[in-house]
Structures are given as structure tokens and as C-alpha cells.
Structure 1
Amino acid sequence: MAAERAIRKRIEARLDRIVADNRFTIAVVFPVVGAILLLASAAGLVGPPLRYNPYLILFGTIVMRLPLVAGLAPLFDRRAAIGTGILVCYAFGIELVGVLTGWPYGAFEYTIELGPMLFGAVPLGLPVFFLPLVFNSYLLCLLVLGNAANRRAVRLVAVICTVLLVDIVLDPGAVAIGFWSYNGGIFYGVPVSNYLGWVLSATVSVFVLDFSFDRLRLRERLDTCAFMLDDLVSFVVLWGTINAVFGNWVPVAVALALAGGLVRTERFDVAGIGASDLWGS
């Protein structure tokens, strides 16, 4: 048992070093390159194998998730594994129901394959896209709210609002770039029902994450792990850029607001990340 813990600690330390030494590449270069390739795909400027290549999309997404994975790794125990498993099952279940019935997000369909598809309807890589959305929102709220986050009612409302803000950025950009489409919608092609659905998903996620992680340990890790929210930095860079190119100015404004929250928590120091990464200091 002691030997296994020692091996795990070495792996966690190695992952921390990889992410810390490559913050600029992960949090800035990957989303910028990803945005360029997606925009070129949407405009028909590139063909196979680069155009909407599902494996490139999945690979780039996984790389951008590394800071979140490394940040949570030391806190991941049996309870966290059970909670994450519950959220994975929920993500697949609610997405399949959504595609087949239009509830709760509104009638929609994937217009390109984001990797292998489960039952030909939803991506097998769905947890890579769904879980970070709620995890990052939860972590950002814990960091911004401080002691106020100890109250479940405050935490729940804050996370729901943050998830909605994140999806206000994500969905219009994803619709514009051709990832999925709705059967009409008043907000850049996205229906109001989508955001009502995310209220449900955010609520479920808060209760599951409350069960899964010790908030005191989570806060301690957040305070000491500078890169733990870099995944949200890459999200703002990627989808803020895509929305700007398509003239989706409300999502762009919300992306800037999320960046402001990260600046407040000293987690959006792109210049600082770049200097450290480029000069090796």
C-alpha cells in the first residue's frame, strides 16, 4: 500500500511538472491553433484530413484538460471516482435523452462527429466536454466566493450562474462553427430551453461534486496550484476567438467577463504564463 502511494505521488508530481512547464502551450497555443483550424474548417479553407478531424479535436481537447486533471489528481479517491462516474453516466444519459426527445435542452443534433459516436447519436468523448464545464464552474466559484461558498445555497446559485455564463459562450460558438445545431433559437441560434436544461445539469453537478470532494482540501489545492483553472483560460481563448470572428458579441462580452473573474483570482496572467514558458524561468 505504501509503495502504491509512493508511485502515485511520483506520477502526480510528474504530471504537475509537465503542466507547469508547458502552461503557455496548453492554455494559449493549443486553443489558438484549435480556433484557427476550426474556423478554416467552417470556411472550407482546409480539406481532409484537417477539416473537422474528430481525432484532432479530441486530442486538442484532452491536452487542454490536462491542468484540470493534474489539479484534481491528488484529491481523487474512491469517493471522487464514484461521483465522477455518476456525472459521466448523467452526461451520457441526459445527452441521449436530449438528442432523441429534445428534452431538456431543446431539439438538437450533432452536425459533425466529435470522435466515435455512441449509438450514432452522441460522442463517446462526451465526458471530456461535459465534465470540465461543471468542474471549472464549481472551482471558480469556490475560489471567488471564499468562505461564502461554505453555504450550499450560495454555492448552488453561484455555480448555476457560472455554468450558464460558460454555456452562453460555448453554445453560440459551437453552433456557428458547425459542431451541433438546434431547431431554431432566439440567442444566436440557441433556444432558451437549452439554458433551462443547464440549470438542471448544474444543480445535479453541484450536489454530486459536494458529495465527491472535501471542499477544504479542494480550496487548499486551488490556493497552491497556480494552473488548476488553466483549462478555463483555454476555454475563454478558444471560444472567445470563435465567437468574435462570427460577430457573436454577447458571448464575447461574457467570455471577457469570465476572463475578468480569472484575473481577479490571478489565474489569467497570460503574459506571465508566456514569459515563464518561453524563457524557462
Structure 2
Amino acid sequence: MRKVPWVLLGALILVQICYPLTEDKTRAVLTVVTVLIGVLLSVTHALISRGARAVVALIGTAGVGGFLVEAVGVATGFPFGTYDYSGELGPKLLGVPLIIPLAWTWMAWPAWLAALRITTSTTKRIVVAAFGLACWDLFLDPQMVAEGYWTWQAPTPALPGLPGIPISNYLGWLGFAVLIMTVLSLKLQQKPKTDDAPMYALWIWTYASSVLAHTVFLDLPASAAWGGVLMGAAVAPLLIKLRKC
């Protein structure tokens, strides 16, 4: 069972490598497959390393909470701004593709575990994990908007070089990420484990591959720069900690 997360991580990496080499509907399919493998990876690791309590906490906060905040966002424009999802990402409920809350669940887990490894302060862990998760969206949103998977009705003011996405989106991500990490800090044991290595690898791979893909394959140099610097600030302390071991 301990090898399962590594196997799933390998499958995830393979699918993500294929993504920039494809086009149109194939990319949409690979996007969905990536999220499905990713959420299976995170949930499986949570179960193996910390038990059913961790799975319930993760799915309840990032999954159910992610769906609710997205549904509110689509209906009201709060907290991300006024936006709409296309039909490219599969079935929707209340205007939200069901794959979206799974994406929150997938990446919230490695963000939290990386923060556990970086600092022993609960407050700092919440800040580091939330900041890292929100900065991942500096890669995600520009890529998905470029593919036409969702659009904003009022995309200004935007970050320089990232048109079509209002700053409110990133602030909304940060606010909800703080809520996720606060709940996880209350529900889960606050200690890193040796079994967390696959999630560290996922976190580092997500960062490095995103910088590479946006720079070389997807023609999104601005998101490569923004994400490279800001998410890099969340990933670098983990690399330093792991190097010292």
C-alpha cells in the first residue's frame, strides 16, 4: 500500500507530460484525467498516512467546501469575481463542473503537508500552505482561461501580463485557502511523517513542471514569471528543509 501514492504520482506525471503535446478536446480530456488521478493520489495518501479522519477532513473542507464556494462564486461573483464555466470540463451542478472541487482537494493536501514540514508554528503553517495553494492558481487560471474552460465577465483590474483574470480571483483563492488550512490545522495531527515524501514530490513537480510548460510549451511567459516567483517562495523553504535531511 505504501507504494500506491508513488504509482499514482507516476501516472499523473505521464498524463501531464502528454498535455502540452496535444490540442483541443484531447487537452480537455487530459485535464479531467489529471484531476481525477490527482485527487485519488491525495485522498489515498491521506488514508494511508493518517487514516479515515484525515480523508473526511480533506474532502469536507477542500472538496465540499470547494464546491460550495465555487457555486456561490458563479451565482454571485463573490469571492472570485463574476465568471462562467464552459462545458468542456464535464457535467456541472449549480454551474460548477464537478471536476473543480476535486482539483481543490487534490492540491490542498500537498500544500498542507509541505507547510507541516517547513514550520512548527500553526499560524505560520496556515499562512505558508494557503499562500502556496493560492500561488498555484497563478499557473492554473491563465492556462485554463487560455483554453477557454472558464471566462470572467469583468476581468479588470488584472495583474500585469495576465489579462482576462481579475485580481479579485487570486484574493478569493487566498481567502478560501486560509479557511481550508485553518480547518485542517484544527482537525489533524500537526506532525510531518516519513510517508509524506510522495506529496513533497507532487508539490515540487507541480511547481517545476508548471514553470517549464508555461515558458516553453504553452506560450504563457507572464504566468511562468508570476507563478515562478511567488509559488517558488512557498516551495523553496521545503527544498531547503529536505536538503538538510
**What range is the shorter-chain TM-score in?**
0.7 to 0.9
Give the letter for the 2:73 counterpart: G
| Residues 193 and 252 of structure 1, relative CA distance in 2, 3 Å threshold | closer
Aligned-pair CA distance for 1:36: 2.3
Q: Does residue 123 of structure 2 align to residue 153 of structure 1? A: yes
Structure 1 counterpart SS, 2:221: coil
Structure 2 counterpart SS, 1:181: strand
The match for 2:77 is 102
The match for 1:73 is 47
Alignment of 1:1-281 (within 5 A): 13=1, 16-21=2-7, 23=9, 25-37=10-22, 40-41=23-24, 50=26, 52-53=28-29, 56-74=30-48, 75-78=50-53, 80-82=55-57, 84-119=59-94, 121-145=95-119, 147=120, 149=121, 152-182=122-152, 183-185=154-156, 186-187=158-159, 188=162, 189-216=164-191, 219-220=192-193, 223-236=194-207, 239-244=210-215, 245-248=219-222, 249-254=224-229, 260-261=236-237, 263-266=239-242
C-alpha distance in 2 between matches for 1:106 and 1:160: 19
Which segment drifts farther, 232-241 or 57-66? Answer: 232-241
Q: Which runs of 5+ in 1 are unaligned?
A: 1-12, 42-47, 268-281
CA contact (8 A) 1:112 1:178 kept: no
C-alpha distance in 2 between matches for 1:27 and 1:51: 14
C-alpha distance in 1 between matches for 2:37 and 2:123: 34
Aligned-pair CA distance for 1:99: 0.9
C-alpha distance in 1 between matches for 2:8 and 2:172: 36
| Residues 211 and 77 of structure 1, relative CA distance in 2, 3 Å threshold | farther
Give the letter for the 2:146 counterpart: A
Between the aligned residues of both structures, percent identity stands at 23
CA contact (8 A) 2:46 2:54 kept: no
Structure 2 counterpart SS, 1:103: coil
TM-score normalised by L of structure 2 = 0.80
C-alpha distance in 1 between matches for 2:165 and 2:8: 35
Q: Which runs of 5+ in 2 are unaligned?
A: none
Aligned-pair CA distance for 1:84: 2.6
Q: Spell out, residue by residue over 1:73-106, the C-alpha distance to the aligned partner (whole angstroms, 9 max, x if none).
A: 1213246515632443221111011111111101
Between the two proteins, the alignment pairs up a number of residues equal to 232
The match for 1:270 is none
Aligned-pair CA distance for 1:169: 2.1
Larger Rg: 1
